[in-house]
Amino acid sequence: MTEVLRTPDECFADLPGHPFEPHYAEVVADGLGPVRMHHLDEGPADGPVALLLHGQPTWSYLYRSLVPVLVARGIRVVAPDNIGFGRSDKPARPTDYTFARHIEWMRSLVTTLDLRDVTLVAQDWGGPIGFSVLAAEPDRFSAVVAANTILHTADPALAGRLDWAVHGSGESRVVLEQALVDYLLHTQRAPQLRASDFVGAATARPLAAEVLAAYDAPYPSEDLTAGLRQMTALLPLTRNDVGARIGRRTMRALEEFERPFLTCYSDGDPATRGWDRIFQECVPGARGQDHVTLAGAGHFLQEDAGEELALIVAALMKRV
């Protein structure tokens, strides 16, 4: 058994632009007892599902501007908080969090809610987690919108194709982007970790102070940040990392995915730049799609171009 913490509900009171009721489901992963995962669940219960997955260091608040646009078009919106994030449970030990468990927890939510006819919208770590759930449950997914995301493989074939290098070189060396290593080390060494520092630095336009505070709302004390810190430590930097092996297995599944796969990347995100072209080349369902590059948006394109992203998702769902 492990200690599991919860952020007090009052921390989430009166967040700007976030009128949604919380929903919870128990999810499971190997080696740990059930934990409670929070998710937004808006729109018609019998509508096609948009599954909106966040990454590091955000939570479902990131998608608040997309929800009403999608619901107005008859779409059911499910936006979970990864375990350790947002209103979801937060195991206290950093080692309770593994890449495999994040995938299992999200798969458990999808199967517990029995989600079908799902369009996956994945940003940041939402891609590696969500694509791996798709690989395990392919019949539940009708389409994908990959939005500023990657797939951890450390494949030497990535050399020269990414703005932020993460790939093997020769038999025993790796090439890593300095900014990525700096980011990883900071998250492990900083005495205090604030989600808002990273969100505010990775948007193209300044965010209001109350919006930045909403990203910090799940973490009123340092003991609640184990998952926030550990997700960055889970970044696979070598081909030998278990996460890279999961990523390569997931990529093989995507190479068989023939349903619509649309890339929607911003022009202001060097951390993921290049992965849109890789997905377009490798995923059969990406061929012939009207892939999008959003101008004037940063890594968190939901903040810079949320309504535009929502309309792109809705248009794809109307076609499938």
Residues designated as active site = 124, 269, 299
For tokens 């500023």, name the residue: 148
